[in-house]
Amino acid sequence: MLRLLVSLYIVVFASIIAINLGSETIWRNWVEQAPDDLRHATAVAKQYKQALNYIKEDEFASFLTAQPQLTVFPYEDVAWLPEQLTALRQGEIITSFDDTGNAQLLFMANNGTSVVQLGPFAPAKSARVKQYTIKFLSYSVLALLLVIWLRPLWIDLVQLKRTSEKLASGSLDLTTTRSRFSAIYTLTQQIESMALKTASLMSNQKQLVNAVSHELRTPLARLKFALAMLAPKAPEQVAAMEEDVIEMEVLIDEMLSYARLEFANQQLHMQQCDLAPLILDQLDKLARTTNKQLITSIANELPVHCDPHQLTRVIQNLLQNADKYGQSTIRITLSKQQNMAVFSVEDDGSGIPESKREQVFQPFSRLDKSRNKETGGFGLGLAIVSKILSWHSTSCLIDDSELGGARFTLRLPLVP
């Protein structure tokens, strides 16, 4: 950062010096070569100066009144540049330009305390053009130096953007080479070391999940076997214990499938597909198992860009939840709204309070802490939905359904 600041300071400093020196030189050699009318005015100023030499002090005031183009003021009134003061004191006629580019001719009156001014004269048109040209050149010099300074930084930032895009898409292979002289070298180094740490954390997590699930599955299988042997002696207790074992197996499966999702976005198979068949397929499966009334309105031919396998899991999870938490009716709608395909699942359950609508997408988050066999998930279904939808650059919105329960809506852009 310090390097960046110092280099910016040097560039700005060098630009200001270049502009000052350059414009002064151009002004002297180009603009101050007095245009013809200014030369003529200088000749007039010389005559006035000579005339004033012959005028007595008491006639001075009346002479000036008769010459409205002359102005007299005490020379202390102006903060002169040293070279202007020297020239005035040596009896020279000097030219000065005000902010608007008007020229004045100035010389010292014979009493040595006042300065006489002839003018102002509007600058010749060509002088104004020259003035604008100088301004234009100054800004161009500044822009050029800034571009020279910005170019390497720009290239670095573009590379950094690519790196962060790679990171965001889940790729941790950062094989970019960067010069040590890059202004953001430290920043890139830190991002790369962060990515390496993330990569090692993720691989540790993968190993841990695999190891834990394997280590847990083996004793669970042994437990199931032992329970089967015990069943004839205490059938009721064994049945209850078997249920617990099955529950643990489901938990392990869900945890594994959630953990595997972390790595799945690197293998997304995005393609153009019609949403209706995906939904109808899952509706068929639900119709076979549910006792709820299904109200459907599915529009055909709504092609979207998605991974059909992952999107099927989203549809499945939303339908299963509606089935679990609804009372008697589930409404499923697929429609076209402008250039979007809109899919919604609603039920007549107890709904989700507004304050909990973000929380339910967190892993292991359940509103009803007392899990029972009917609704007994582990709070991973909506976390999976949210993750898959984030890979599709969209999200799921929860609001109240007209049926009385919750409504889950997701939108995907239609392929034109």
Alpha-carbon torsion, ordered 10, 12, 14, 16, to 10 deg: -150
Answer whether 255's CB lies under 8 Å from 380's CB.
yes
Q: What is the DSSP string of 180-219?
A: TT-TTHHHHHHHHHHHHHHHHHHHHHHHHHHHHHHHHHHH
Nearest distance from residue 290's CB to ligand ADP, in Å? 13
Which is nearer to ligand ADP, 278 or 406 (by Cβ)?
406
Instruction: Lay out the site mask for ligand ADP across 224-263 (x = CB under 6 A, - = otherwise).
Output: ----------------------------------------
Nearest distance from residue 318's CB to ligand ADP, in Å? 8
Nearest distance from residue 254's CB to ligand ADP, in Å? 8
Which is nearer to ligand ADP, 31 or 314 (by Cβ)?
314
Nearest distance from residue 408's CB to ligand ADP, in Å? 7
Does 397 sit near ligand ADP (CB under 6 A)? Answer: no
Rounded Cα distance, 394 and 374, in Å: 30
Does 388 sit near ligand ADP (CB under 6 A)? Answer: no
Which is nearer to ligand ADP, 183 or 322 (by Cβ)?
322
Q: Which residue is nearest to ligand ADP (CB)?
A: 377
Nearest distance from residue 405's CB to ligand ADP, in Å? 5
Which is nearer to ligand ADP, 130 or 407 (by Cβ)?
407
Cis, bond preceding 353 (omega within 30 deg of 0): no
Answer whether 161's CB lies under 8 Å from 20's CB.
no
* Radius of gyration of the chain, Cα coordinates, nearest whole angstrom: 42
Nearest distance from residue 371's CB to ligand ADP, in Å? 7
Instruction: Lay out the site mask for ligand ADP across 179-198 (x = CB under 6 A, - = otherwise).
Output: --------------------
Nearest distance from residue 401's CB to ligand ADP, in Å? 9
Site residues for ligand ADP, window 350-379 (CB under 6 A)? 350-352, 360, 365-368, 377-379
Does 349 sit near ligand ADP (CB under 6 A)? Answer: yes
Answer whether 348's CB lies under 8 Å from 292's CB.
no
- DSSP type of residue 69: T
Instruction: Lay out the site mask for ligand ADP across 265-304 (x = CB under 6 A, - = otherwise).
Output: ----------------------------------------
Residues 6+ apart with CB under 8 A from 21: none
Element (H, E) at 80: none
Nearest distance from residue 171's CB to ligand ADP, in Å? 28
Helix axes 57-66, 36-54, angle to 10 degrees: 150
Answer whether 370's CB lies under 8 Å from 358's CB.
no
For ligand ADP, the binding residue among 321, 342, 392, 410 (CB under 6 A) is 321
Does 405 sit near ligand ADP (CB under 6 A)? Answer: yes
Closest CA to 286 of 315, 247, 306, 327: 315
For ligand ADP, the binding residue among 88, 315, 406, 410 (CB under 6 A) is 406
Size of the site for ligand ADP (CB under 6 A): 23
Rounded Cα distance, 415 and 303, in Å: 6
Nearest distance from residue 306's CB to ligand ADP, in Å? 20
In Å, what is the CA distance from 187 to each residue of 7, 158, 164, 178, 193?
17, 13, 12, 11, 10
Nearest distance from residue 411's CB to ligand ADP, in Å? 18
Which is nearer to ligand ADP, 119 or 379 (by Cβ)?
379
DSSP-assigned beta bridge partners for residue 400? 406
Rounded Cα distance, 407 and 333, in Å: 11
In total, the chain counts a number of residues equal to 416
Q: How far is CA 108 from the centre of its chain?
A: 63
Nearest distance from residue 166's CB to ligand ADP, in Å? 30
- CB burial of residue 236 (10 Å; 0-12, 13-18, 19+): exposed
DSSP-assigned beta bridge partners for residue 330? 294, 347
For ligand ADP, the binding residue among 380, 389, 403, 412 (CB under 6 A) is 380
Does 123 sit near ligand ADP (CB under 6 A)? Answer: no
For ligand ADP, the binding residue among 381, 388, 389, 396 (CB under 6 A) is 381
List residues near ligand ADP by CB under 6 A: 321-322, 324-325, 347, 349-352, 360, 365-368, 377-383, 405-406
